[in-house]
Amino acid sequence: MGEKQLVIQLKKKQTRSFAFNQLVKMYQEVLYYHIRRIVISHDDADDVLQNTFLKAWKNIERFRGDSSIKTWLYRIGTNEAITFLNKKKKRLYQGVEALENDLRHSLRNSEFIDGDEIQMKLQEAILTLPEKQRLVFNMRYFQEMRYSEISGILDISVGGLKANYHHAVKKIEKYLQAQAS
């Protein structure tokens, strides 16, 4: 089923459940990994993913089709992940640095992160980035999204995204060089 057909099916009450199940099957895995790169923890990513699909279900009638359904879902997932981290920060009375340390600890102790020492260092370097740069870097580098697609998700100009990505790469390079010394 193509995206246009899927959206039509999602708008009809009699086919909405079936179409939504198809939507979940299509995007569950890629959204999980997108969210996981933001929140790090497997359990937290599962919770945020569930909230993402619940929010999509509740708001499917409001989907206007200005963007693709994928972009719409990524925007919801990104916002849910950021909201989750902000709530976690407040709940634990943590500042940004403490939250980064918590995420770094989750990264090191995760049984779901598979990778060698170089991959771990890269992930640690990414955690040092400001939130916007981290989001842009993950979407561009790991998910190989086009800037135009990321722009639709984050509502940032393509020029701004390119600048964020460039700064992120430079900061990651600097971090990795410092770790190698």
1-95 and 115-181 in the same fold: no
Residue range 93-135, pLDDT digits in tens = 555 566 666 666 666 666 545 556 777 788 889 988 998 999 9
Q: Which of the four pLDDT bands, split at 50, 70 and 90, describes residue 83? A: very high
Tokens of 81: 């992940």
Does this model's pTM top 0.95?
no
Place of tokens 């193509």: 2
- Residue 137 CA to residue 134 CA, distance in Å, equals 5
Topology adopted by domain 1-95: Rna Polymerase Sigma Factor; Chain: A (1.10.1740)
- Confidence at residue 115, expressed as pLDDT on a 0 to 100 scale: 57
- Confidence at residue 18, expressed as pLDDT on a 0 to 100 scale: 95
Topology adopted by domain 115-181: Arc Repressor Mutant, subunit A (1.10.10)
DSSP state of 15: T
Residue range 15-74, pLDDT digits in tens = 999 999 999 999 999 999 999 999 988 899 999 999 999 999 999 989 988 889 999 999
Tokens of 139: 């979407």
Q: Which of the four pLDDT bands, split at 50, 70 and 90, describes residue 4? A: confident
Q: Which of the four pLDDT bands, split at 50, 70 and 90, describes residue 10? A: very high
- Confidence at residue 17, expressed as pLDDT on a 0 to 100 scale: 95
Contacts of 15 (CB under 8 A, 6+ apart): 9
- Residue 98 CA to residue 129 CA, distance in Å, equals 14
Question: Strand, coil or helix: what is 63?
Answer: coil
| Structural domain boundaries in the chain | 1-95, 115-181
Question: Strand, coil or helix: what is 169?
Answer: helix
